[in-house]
Amino acid sequence: MSYLTSKMVTIMVKERTFVMIKPDAVQRGLVGKVIQRFEDKGIKIVAIKMVSVKRELAEQHYGIHKGKPFFEPTVNYITSSPVVAMVLEGIGAIEMVRNMMGKTDPQKADMGTIRGDFGQSIGRNIVHGSDGPDTAKFEINLWFKPEEISNFTRIDEEWLTE
């Protein structure tokens, strides 16, 4: 989908991203509030499940950080309680979701963002979202089988973009 303005062409790309609602949000009963923010924005959920994360999956997910001081504590944290894994879809979904989440450190995240409103420390920052297209593809394929992802059009999609 694209539209033309008088001086430039903007291409609007529908994309998918991976989001994980982390154990602190699950334990604090914030899952619905986090999901509601994405849906209110017009981002479509095309896959969702609650997962008790096994160590192997956590190590694969955070594999790029292996050897760093925070790797073990992060793996232990993610495996300590269920998470909610989702695939979200929308125009510019990766950047939009990242902006909605706010900075990784909730102390530095703007109020109005998920982390700014609900998080208190970097080690318990409520939510994870893919940081780019390659990461999104990797994480979606790691957490979901193709048949677990729905392809459908929401009735309001035509009203969200020009």
Give the pair of three-digit tokens for residue 140: 């979606």
Q: What pLDDT, in 10s, does the model give residues 91-105?
A: 999 999 999 999 999
Give the pair of three-digit tokens for residue 19: 């989001």
Q: What pLDDT, in 10s, does the model give residues 4-62?
A: 454 454 557 899 999 999 999 999 999 999 999 999 999 999 999 999 999 999 999 99
Q: Annotated active-site positions, please?
A: 128
CA distance 12 to 6: 16
pTM: 0.90
Domain boundaries, the chain: 14-153
Catalogue the E-assigned strands of 52-108: 83-91
CATH class of the domain defined by 14-153? alpha beta
For residue 13, the one-letter residue type is V
Partners of 84 in the β-ladder: 21, 50
